[in-house]
């Protein structure tokens, strides 16, 4: 069982499908993801995602529905 270190700093990242995640700042952000400019502890980053990512559908699906 893994326990999160409460001192770990995270950054909020987004991919080209406008899906959000958090990533520890001591690791490089993986290919296909970019930082959005929000860093902090896990709770802070997840709170930002909760208020920002209100439509969980991938961008490709939203775009397809708009073009119908």
Q: Is the pLDDT of residue 60 over 80?
A: yes
Centroid of chain to Cα 45: 8
DSSP 51: H
Residue extents of the structural domains in the chain: 10-66
What's the mean pLDDT when you consider all of the chain?
92
What fold characterizes domain 10-66?
Rubredoxin-like (3.90.820)
pLDDT given for residue 3 in this prediction: 64
pLDDT given for residue 42 in this prediction: 96
Q: Is the pLDDT of residue 4 over 60?
A: yes
pLDDT given for residue 68 in this prediction: 74
């Amino acid at each position: 069982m893994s326990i999160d270190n409460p001192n770990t700093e995270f950054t909020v990242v987004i991919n080209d499908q406008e899906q959000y995640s958090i990533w520890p700042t001591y690791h490089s952000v993986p290919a296909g993801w970019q930082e959005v400019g929000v860093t902090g502890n896990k709770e802070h980053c997840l709170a930002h995602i909760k208020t920002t990512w209100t439509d969980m559908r991938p961008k490709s699906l939203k775009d397809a529905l708009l073009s119908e």
